[in-house]
Amino acid sequence: MATKAKAGERRKYPIRKEDYELFEVIGDGASAVVHRARCIPFDEIVAVKILDFEKNNADLAKISREAQTMVLIDHPNVLNAHCSFVIDHDLWVVMPYMAGGSCLHIMKSVYPKGFEENVIATVLKEVLKGLEYLHREGHIHRDVKAGNIG
Ligand SMILES: Nc1ncnc2c1ncn2[C@@H]1O[C@H](COP(=O)(O)OP(=O)(O)OP(=O)(O)O)[C@@H](O)[C@H]1O
């Protein structure tokens, strides 16, 4: 049964792979694959990013640090992680599922000629609020983009 968290308190997501049902792949990269999934105990759709430490000489310390940062961040414009855990040589990062897709995906499918200037200004303002928060917290993003090409 789903456990309700009190206001301002974060729910503790399970850290066993048996508690997640993986569905289709929604993102595929050099060292990571992202699935739409269901967190079974909460009956909630999530995204699970699975990073293979053994691929591409992945920097274990850097990846773990990034996952930890994603769990701790707390800003409406920055996607945080519910939890992360290691299974064999994979790191699982459980995140909220963003059903709308990336900004690039929306632009390509709905605005093939590009966004209008006022939309660009609005999007960038919100992105900057997120970046400002990260900088205030002592983080540097280093990879801001509208989405993955290809
Ligand atoms: N939480 C999510 N909800 C919905 N789709 C997602 C989510 N996370 C990732 N995706 C999809 O999977 C793709 C790849 O995700 P991934 O996190 O590997 O991208 P990334 O920003 O390139 O990461 P990195 O640069 O850290 O490798 C995204 O472009 C997006 O389409």
25-63 pLDDT tens trace: 998 877 789 999 999 999 999 999 999 888 756 677 888
- Cα–Cα distances in Å, from 126 out to 25, 40, 90, 96, 103? 28, 33, 33, 19, 12
**Sign of the CA dihedral 129, 62, 19, 37?**
positive
Contact predicate 45/36, CB 8 Å: yes
The answer to whether 55 is annotated as binding is no
Task: Name residues whose C-beta falls within 8 Å of residue 139's C-beta, 6 or more positions apart in sequence.
Answer: 69, 73
Beta bridge partners of 96: 46
Q: At 20, which amino acid appears?
A: Y
Average pLDDT, the chain: 89
Helix, strand, coil fractions of the chain, as percent rounded to 5: 30, 25, 40
Mutate to test the pocket of ligand 1, among 20, 24, 26 (most ligand atoms within 8 A of CB): 26
Q: SS3 of 75, please?
A: strand
Choose the weakest-confidence range: 13-22, 25-34, 50-59, 108-117.
50-59
Domain 13-97 has CATH 2.30.40.10: no
The mean per-residue pLDDT over the stretch 80-103 comes to 93
Are the C-beta atoms of 94 and 82 separated by less than 8 Å? yes
The verdict on whether 88 is a catalytic residue reads no
Distance from C-alpha of 26 to C-alpha of 3, rounded to nearest angstrom: 27
Domain map of the chain by residue range?
Answer: 13-97, 100-150
Model confidence, pTM: 0.88
- Residue 149 pLDDT: 75
Q: How far is the CA of 113 from the centre of ligand 1 (A)?
A: 24
CA 10 to ligand 1 centroid distance, Å: 23
Residue 88: per-residue pLDDT = 87
Ligand 1, CB cutoff 6 Å, lining residues? 26-27, 29, 32, 34, 47, 49, 79, 95-98, 101-102, 143, 147-148
pLDDT at residue 82 is higher than 80: yes
Question: Residue 63 burial by CB count (10 A; 0-12/13-18/19+): exposed, middle or buried?
Answer: middle
Indicate if the pLDDT at residue 14 is higher than 90.
yes
Please identify which of the residues 52, 59, 90, 143 carries the catalytic annotation: 143
Q: In whole angstroms, give the CA distance from residue 108 to residue 94.
A: 27
- The band of 148, judged by pLDDT with boundaries at 50, 70 and 90, is confident
| Residue 41: per-residue pLDDT | 98
Percent of the chain with pLDDT over 70: 92
pLDDT band at 7; cut points 50, 70, 90: low
Q: Which of 25, 34, 82 to mutate to test the pocket of ligand 1 (most atoms within 8 A of CB)?
A: 34
Q: 14 C-alpha to center of ligand 1: Å?
A: 21
